[in-house]
Amino acid sequence: MMGIHWTELIVVAFVALLIFGPKRLPEIGGAVGRTYREFRKSVGEISELATSELTPPERQLPAATAAHEADTADRTIRDAAPSRT
């Protein structure tokens, strides 16, 4: 993909100056800047939405299952510890 080189950019700016004149050029530049800012904002929102849609939600265990797993883990730790009798 070929980009715009600085010489081409100068030619485009000169042609725009000839067509629109020095009074309207800042006005047009501001409009182009606002349009570009809105475009980037929209692309960011769409990208964020797509990313959130593609990531799976975290799996949450029901309360009874979580309590059972905690109890099982506690028993496993007690069984693994050496007894002092």
Domain housing 35: 20-50
The pLDDT assigned to 1 comes to: 47
Average pLDDT over residues 24-40: 93
The pLDDT assigned to 72 comes to: 65
Q: Say if 2 falls within a structural domain.
A: no
What is the count of structural domains for the chain?
1
User: Shortest CA distance to 16 belongs to which of 2, 4, 26, 3?
Assistant: 26
User: Shortest CA distance to 25 belongs to which of 16, 34, 33?
Assistant: 16
**Element spanning 73, H or E:** helix 63-80
Q: Say if 59 falls within a structural domain.
A: no
Yes or no: say if 60 and 51 are a contact pair by the CB < 8 Å rule: no
The pLDDT assigned to 9 comes to: 86
